[in-house]
Structure 1
Amino acid sequence: MSYQYTDSGLDNVWLEDGYTIEDHPNYGRLMSIKNVRGLHEAIGRWLISLPRTLNGAEFRFLRLELDFSQKALGGVVGVTEQAVAKWEKAREKPVANRSAERLLRLAYINYLDGKPEFSAIIDRISQLDAEIAEHELRLTRENDGWHKLAA
Protein backbone atom coordinates (compact mmCIF):
# COMPACT_ATOMS: atom_id res chain seq x y z
CA MET A 1 0.00 0.00 0.00
CA SER A 2 1.39 3.41 -1.01
CA TYR A 3 1.13 6.51 1.16
CA GLN A 4 0.72 9.98 -0.35
CA TYR A 5 3.21 12.18 1.51
CA THR A 6 1.49 15.57 1.36
CA ASP A 7 3.32 16.86 4.46
CA SER A 8 6.10 17.77 2.03
CA GLY A 9 3.80 20.37 0.49
CA LEU A 10 3.87 18.41 -2.76
CA ASP A 11 0.98 16.40 -4.13
CA ASN A 12 3.04 14.01 -6.25
CA VAL A 13 5.18 12.26 -3.61
CA TRP A 14 4.19 8.68 -2.75
CA LEU A 15 5.99 6.44 -0.27
CA GLU A 16 6.11 2.75 -1.07
CA ASP A 17 7.71 1.82 2.27
CA GLY A 18 9.73 3.38 5.10
CA TYR A 19 6.67 4.32 7.11
CA THR A 20 4.30 2.76 9.61
CA ILE A 21 0.66 3.49 10.31
CA GLU A 22 -0.99 2.48 13.54
CA ASP A 23 -4.29 3.12 15.23
CA HIS A 24 -3.93 4.69 18.67
CA PRO A 25 -6.86 4.40 21.10
CA ASN A 26 -6.66 8.08 22.12
CA TYR A 27 -5.26 9.80 19.04
CA GLY A 28 -6.64 7.81 16.14
CA ARG A 29 -4.55 6.93 13.12
CA LEU A 30 -0.85 7.81 13.49
CA MET A 31 1.78 7.70 10.77
CA SER A 32 5.52 7.53 11.39
CA ILE A 33 8.24 7.97 8.76
CA LYS A 34 11.73 6.59 9.13
CA ASN A 35 14.49 9.14 8.37
CA VAL A 36 12.45 12.19 7.37
CA ARG A 37 15.67 14.16 6.77
CA GLY A 38 16.81 11.56 4.23
CA LEU A 39 13.37 11.52 2.64
CA HIS A 40 13.42 15.29 2.18
CA GLU A 41 16.94 15.15 0.76
CA ALA A 42 15.78 12.55 -1.79
CA ILE A 43 12.84 14.79 -2.75
CA GLY A 44 15.15 17.81 -3.03
CA ARG A 45 17.67 15.93 -5.20
CA TRP A 46 14.85 14.87 -7.50
CA LEU A 47 13.53 18.44 -7.74
CA ILE A 48 16.87 20.02 -8.64
CA SER A 49 17.37 17.39 -11.35
CA LEU A 50 14.07 18.13 -13.10
CA PRO A 51 14.69 19.31 -16.69
CA ARG A 52 12.03 22.02 -16.43
CA THR A 53 11.28 25.12 -14.41
CA LEU A 54 10.11 24.32 -10.88
CA ASN A 55 6.51 25.09 -10.05
CA GLY A 56 5.46 27.13 -7.03
CA ALA A 57 5.03 24.15 -4.69
CA GLU A 58 8.43 22.73 -5.63
CA PHE A 59 10.08 26.13 -5.23
CA ARG A 60 8.52 26.46 -1.77
CA PHE A 61 9.75 22.99 -0.75
CA LEU A 62 13.37 23.89 -1.57
CA ARG A 63 13.11 27.32 0.07
CA LEU A 64 11.83 25.77 3.29
CA GLU A 65 14.48 23.04 3.21
CA LEU A 66 17.12 25.78 3.05
CA ASP A 67 15.39 27.64 5.89
CA PHE A 68 15.05 30.84 3.84
CA SER A 69 12.16 33.13 4.62
CA GLN A 70 10.24 34.61 1.70
CA LYS A 71 11.57 38.01 2.72
CA ALA A 72 15.22 36.88 2.83
CA LEU A 73 15.02 35.11 -0.51
CA GLY A 74 13.19 38.03 -2.07
CA GLY A 75 15.88 40.39 -0.79
CA VAL A 76 18.62 38.32 -2.39
CA VAL A 77 16.94 38.15 -5.80
CA GLY A 78 15.70 41.75 -5.68
CA VAL A 79 11.97 41.21 -5.33
CA THR A 80 9.46 41.71 -2.56
CA GLU A 81 8.35 39.10 -0.08
CA GLN A 82 4.93 39.30 -1.75
CA ALA A 83 6.44 38.36 -5.12
CA VAL A 84 7.95 35.18 -3.65
CA ALA A 85 4.62 34.40 -1.97
CA LYS A 86 2.84 34.88 -5.31
CA TRP A 87 5.17 32.43 -7.09
CA GLU A 88 4.61 29.85 -4.38
CA LYS A 89 0.86 30.36 -4.29
CA ALA A 90 0.70 29.44 -7.97
CA ARG A 91 1.43 25.85 -6.92
CA GLU A 92 1.19 24.20 -10.33
CA LYS A 93 2.57 27.03 -12.49
CA PRO A 94 6.26 27.44 -13.35
CA VAL A 95 7.99 30.06 -11.18
CA ALA A 96 7.84 33.37 -13.03
CA ASN A 97 11.37 34.47 -12.10
CA ARG A 98 13.73 31.98 -13.74
CA SER A 99 16.82 33.58 -12.14
CA ALA A 100 15.39 33.13 -8.64
CA GLU A 101 14.49 29.54 -9.45
CA ARG A 102 18.05 28.82 -10.66
CA LEU A 103 19.56 30.50 -7.62
CA LEU A 104 17.44 28.34 -5.32
CA ARG A 105 18.57 25.18 -7.14
CA LEU A 106 22.20 26.28 -6.83
CA ALA A 107 21.76 27.05 -3.13
CA TYR A 108 20.28 23.59 -2.57
CA ILE A 109 23.10 21.86 -4.48
CA ASN A 110 25.63 23.69 -2.30
CA TYR A 111 23.68 22.71 0.80
CA LEU A 112 23.77 19.05 -0.24
CA ASP A 113 27.48 19.28 -0.97
CA GLY A 114 28.09 20.66 2.53
CA LYS A 115 29.43 23.95 1.23
CA PRO A 116 28.35 26.66 3.66
CA GLU A 117 30.14 29.37 1.64
CA PHE A 118 27.17 29.90 -0.63
CA SER A 119 24.79 30.38 2.29
CA ALA A 120 27.29 32.79 3.82
CA ILE A 121 27.29 34.79 0.58
CA ILE A 122 23.49 34.97 0.59
CA ASP A 123 23.53 36.05 4.25
CA ARG A 124 26.12 38.72 3.43
CA ILE A 125 24.00 40.06 0.55
CA SER A 126 21.03 40.36 2.90
CA GLN A 127 23.20 42.08 5.51
CA LEU A 128 24.54 44.56 2.94
CA ASP A 129 21.01 45.37 1.80
CA ALA A 130 20.09 46.17 5.42
CA GLU A 131 23.20 48.35 5.82
CA ILE A 132 22.42 50.21 2.60
CA ALA A 133 18.90 50.90 3.84
CA GLU A 134 20.40 52.40 7.02
CA HIS A 135 22.37 54.89 4.91
CA GLU A 136 19.48 56.10 2.84
CA LEU A 137 18.14 59.58 3.32
CA ARG A 138 14.35 59.58 3.52
CA LEU A 139 12.67 62.97 3.20
CA THR A 140 9.13 64.16 3.58
CA ARG A 141 7.59 67.40 2.35
CA GLU A 142 5.69 69.42 4.92
CA ASN A 143 4.22 72.93 4.90
CA ASP A 144 7.47 74.49 6.14
CA GLY A 145 9.77 72.55 3.76
CA TRP A 146 11.60 69.24 3.46
CA HIS A 147 12.47 67.21 6.56
CA LYS A 148 14.34 64.02 7.23
CA LEU A 149 12.12 61.16 8.35
CA ALA A 150 12.86 59.77 11.77
CA ALA A 151 14.23 56.21 11.74
Structure 2
Amino acid sequence: MSEYHYTESGLHNIWLASGYEIVETSYGSGVAIHDVAGLHRAIGETLAKKAWITGAELRFLRKEMDLSQRALGELLGTADQAVAKWEKTGRVPKTADRMIRLIYLEHIGGNVPIRSTIERISNTDHAEHARMTAEESENGWRIAA
Protein backbone atom coordinates (compact mmCIF):
# COMPACT_ATOMS: atom_id res chain seq x y z
CA MET A 1 0.00 0.00 0.00
CA SER A 2 1.36 3.43 -0.86
CA GLU A 3 1.51 6.30 1.59
CA TYR A 4 -1.56 8.51 2.01
CA HIS A 5 -1.14 12.30 1.98
CA TYR A 6 -3.22 13.31 5.02
CA THR A 7 -4.24 16.87 4.13
CA GLU A 8 -7.47 16.64 6.13
CA SER A 9 -5.47 17.70 9.18
CA GLY A 10 -4.87 21.11 7.63
CA LEU A 11 -1.16 20.33 7.44
CA HIS A 12 0.47 19.64 4.11
CA ASN A 13 3.45 17.65 5.36
CA ILE A 14 1.67 14.65 6.93
CA TRP A 15 1.83 11.29 5.17
CA LEU A 16 0.40 8.03 6.57
CA ALA A 17 2.42 4.86 5.98
CA SER A 18 -0.23 2.71 7.69
CA GLY A 19 -3.35 3.04 9.83
CA TYR A 20 -5.74 3.72 6.97
CA GLU A 21 -7.64 1.86 4.31
CA ILE A 22 -9.24 2.73 1.01
CA VAL A 23 -12.97 2.02 1.12
CA GLU A 24 -15.64 2.00 -1.55
CA THR A 25 -18.78 3.94 -0.76
CA SER A 26 -21.88 4.78 -2.73
CA TYR A 27 -20.15 8.10 -3.50
CA GLY A 28 -16.93 6.47 -4.77
CA SER A 29 -13.58 5.71 -3.16
CA GLY A 30 -12.83 7.11 0.27
CA VAL A 31 -10.30 6.78 3.03
CA ALA A 32 -11.00 5.40 6.49
CA ILE A 33 -8.37 6.38 9.04
CA HIS A 34 -7.98 4.27 12.16
CA ASP A 35 -7.91 6.08 15.53
CA VAL A 36 -8.01 9.67 14.26
CA ALA A 37 -7.82 11.01 17.83
CA GLY A 38 -4.63 9.02 18.45
CA LEU A 39 -3.17 10.20 15.16
CA HIS A 40 -3.94 13.84 15.98
CA ARG A 41 -2.43 13.45 19.43
CA ALA A 42 0.79 12.04 17.92
CA ILE A 43 0.91 14.91 15.41
CA GLY A 44 0.22 17.49 18.13
CA GLU A 45 2.89 16.12 20.48
CA THR A 46 5.44 16.17 17.68
CA LEU A 47 4.53 19.74 16.71
CA ALA A 48 4.63 20.92 20.32
CA LYS A 49 8.19 19.60 20.71
CA LYS A 50 9.56 21.29 17.57
CA ALA A 51 11.88 24.29 17.69
CA TRP A 52 9.08 26.55 16.37
CA ILE A 53 5.64 26.20 14.87
CA THR A 54 4.16 27.53 11.64
CA GLY A 55 0.80 29.24 11.28
CA ALA A 56 -0.83 26.03 10.03
CA GLU A 57 0.64 24.12 12.96
CA LEU A 58 -0.65 26.76 15.37
CA ARG A 59 -4.13 26.35 13.83
CA PHE A 60 -3.88 22.56 14.22
CA LEU A 61 -2.92 22.81 17.92
CA ARG A 62 -5.61 25.42 18.59
CA LYS A 63 -8.30 23.30 16.99
CA GLU A 64 -7.13 20.19 18.86
CA MET A 65 -7.69 22.11 22.10
CA ASP A 66 -11.12 23.14 20.79
CA LEU A 67 -10.29 26.84 21.10
CA SER A 68 -11.50 29.61 18.85
CA GLN A 69 -9.08 32.31 17.74
CA ARG A 70 -10.79 34.60 20.23
CA ALA A 71 -10.42 32.14 23.12
CA LEU A 72 -6.74 31.54 22.36
CA GLY A 73 -6.18 35.27 22.08
CA GLU A 74 -7.78 35.76 25.49
CA LEU A 75 -5.57 33.06 27.00
CA LEU A 76 -2.48 34.74 25.58
CA GLY A 77 -3.62 38.28 26.37
CA THR A 78 -3.91 39.33 22.73
CA ALA A 79 -6.61 39.97 20.15
CA ASP A 80 -8.24 37.29 18.04
CA GLN A 81 -7.04 39.21 14.98
CA ALA A 82 -3.44 38.68 16.10
CA VAL A 83 -4.04 34.93 16.28
CA ALA A 84 -5.66 35.03 12.83
CA LYS A 85 -2.65 36.92 11.47
CA TRP A 86 -0.19 34.41 12.94
CA GLU A 87 -2.12 31.55 11.40
CA LYS A 88 -2.32 33.28 8.01
CA THR A 89 1.23 34.62 7.74
CA GLY A 90 2.96 31.78 9.57
CA ARG A 91 4.94 34.19 11.72
CA VAL A 92 4.18 33.33 15.34
CA PRO A 93 5.97 35.47 17.98
CA LYS A 94 8.39 33.43 20.11
CA THR A 95 6.56 34.05 23.39
CA ALA A 96 3.20 33.05 21.90
CA ASP A 97 4.80 30.04 20.21
CA ARG A 98 6.23 28.76 23.50
CA MET A 99 3.02 29.38 25.46
CA ILE A 100 0.84 27.66 22.87
CA ARG A 101 3.08 24.58 22.87
CA LEU A 102 3.16 24.50 26.68
CA ILE A 103 -0.62 24.90 26.90
CA TYR A 104 -1.13 22.09 24.38
CA LEU A 105 1.22 19.66 26.14
CA GLU A 106 -0.35 20.33 29.52
CA HIS A 107 -3.83 20.14 28.01
CA ILE A 108 -3.27 16.66 26.58
CA GLY A 109 -1.14 15.48 29.51
CA GLY A 110 -3.83 16.10 32.08
CA ASN A 111 -1.15 16.82 34.70
CA VAL A 112 -2.15 20.40 35.39
CA PRO A 113 -5.47 22.08 34.69
CA ILE A 114 -3.52 24.78 32.86
CA ARG A 115 -6.35 25.73 30.55
CA SER A 116 -8.73 26.55 33.39
CA THR A 117 -5.94 28.30 35.31
CA ILE A 118 -5.01 30.50 32.37
CA GLU A 119 -8.67 31.26 31.67
CA ARG A 120 -9.11 32.30 35.29
CA ILE A 121 -6.00 34.48 35.11
CA SER A 122 -7.10 36.12 31.88
CA ASN A 123 -10.47 37.00 33.42
CA THR A 124 -9.08 38.37 36.66
CA ASP A 125 -9.22 42.09 37.22
CA HIS A 126 -5.77 43.31 38.21
CA ALA A 127 -7.27 45.78 40.66
CA GLU A 128 -8.47 42.86 42.80
CA HIS A 129 -4.86 42.01 43.52
CA ALA A 130 -3.83 45.31 45.02
CA ARG A 131 -3.26 43.74 48.44
CA MET A 132 -2.26 40.22 49.46
CA THR A 133 -1.81 39.06 53.03
CA ALA A 134 0.61 36.23 53.74
CA GLU A 135 0.36 33.94 56.76
CA GLU A 136 2.99 31.60 58.07
CA SER A 137 1.93 28.25 59.49
CA GLU A 138 3.77 25.08 60.44
CA ASN A 139 3.29 23.95 56.80
CA GLY A 140 4.95 27.10 55.43
CA TRP A 141 3.73 30.35 53.98
CA ARG A 142 0.40 30.83 52.24
CA ILE A 143 -1.56 33.76 50.92
CA ALA A 144 -4.76 34.33 52.90
CA ALA A 145 -8.02 34.49 51.00
On whether the aligned pair clears a TM of 0.5, the verdict is yes
After superposition, the CA RMSD in angstroms is: 1.8
CA contact (8 A) 2:107 2:113 kept: no
| Residue matched to 1:7 | 8
> What secondary structure, in the 3-state scheme, does the structure 2 residue paired with 1:21 have?
strand
By how many angstroms is 1:106 displaced? 0.5
By how many angstroms is 1:77 displaced? 1.7
Unaligned 5+ residue runs, structure 2? 128-145
CA contact (8 A) 1:54 1:101 kept: yes
By how many angstroms is 1:120 displaced? 1.1
Q: Paired residues, what number?
A: 126
> What secondary structure, in the 3-state scheme, does the structure 2 residue paired with 1:84 have?
helix
| Residue matched to 1:23 | 24
| Residue matched to 2:39 | 39
**1:118 maps onto 2:114 in alignment:** yes
User: Can you list the C-alpha shifts for 1:24-53, whole angstroms capped at 9, x where unaligned?
Assistant: 2x21112111100110011011101212x2
In the alignment, the residues of structure 1 paired with residue 76 and residue 19 of structure 2 have an alpha-carbon distance, to the nearest angstrom, of 37
Overall identity of the aligned pairs, in %: 46
By how many angstroms is 1:76 displaced? 2.1
By how many angstroms is 1:80 displaced? 1.1
CA contact (8 A) 1:74 1:80 kept: yes
In the alignment, the residues of structure 1 paired with residue 88 and residue 64 of structure 2 have an alpha-carbon distance, to the nearest angstrom, of 17
By how many angstroms is 1:8 displaced? 0.8
By how many angstroms is 1:67 displaced? 1.2
Unaligned 5+ residue runs, structure 1? 133-151
Q: Which amino acid aligns with 1:60?
A: R
1:94 aligned residue (85, 91, 94): 91
